[in-house]
Amino acid sequence: MESTQPVNQAPNQYQLSGKHLHISYSTSGFDGRPHFTYQDQQQTLGFSGDEIRTAESEIGTLVTVTIRLSIDSGGTSFSIILPRVDIPGEQSVPVQTYGITTIHKFSPIPMSGQRDFYTVTSLAGSAGVVFF
């Protein structure tokens, strides 16, 4: 008799929140492009396609968006670390991770010292498999 256990899959949708932050990230949507929603106490921002940058590392996948851009003084990015997750079938599982808000200092005048400043937020929520 053949086993019919579900095949483990990597998640394609994440819902995360923590300390006034709400994050939704889908690796693909109806249009075939990734989608990322960032919400804090002041703003809700939506990103898709090339506005979302991903980088694989040994600690997981780093997903980054630019939440504030200033031509003359720098900008602010937000990143989430997505841990490796295996999901049996079409389900969701709880996940815990971190969001990193980075303020990037820039000056047209050469400067020395630290130029990136980090705020780390614990995030919890779910990772799931959704079929579009």
Are the C-beta atoms of 4 and 83 separated by less than 8 Å?
A: no
Q: In the chain, what percentage of residues exceed pLDDT 90?
A: 65
pTM (2 decimals)?
0.87
- Tens-place pLDDT, residues 52-105: 999 999 999 999 999 998 777 789 999 999 999 988 776 889 999 999 999 998
Q: Which whole number is the average pLDDT over 110-122?
A: 89
Residue 65 pLDDT: 98
Which phi and psi (to 5°) does residue 25 adopt?
A: -140, 130
Are the C-beta atoms of 111 and 73 separated by less than 8 Å?
A: no
Alpha-helical regions (H) of the chain = none
Residue 109 pLDDT: 73
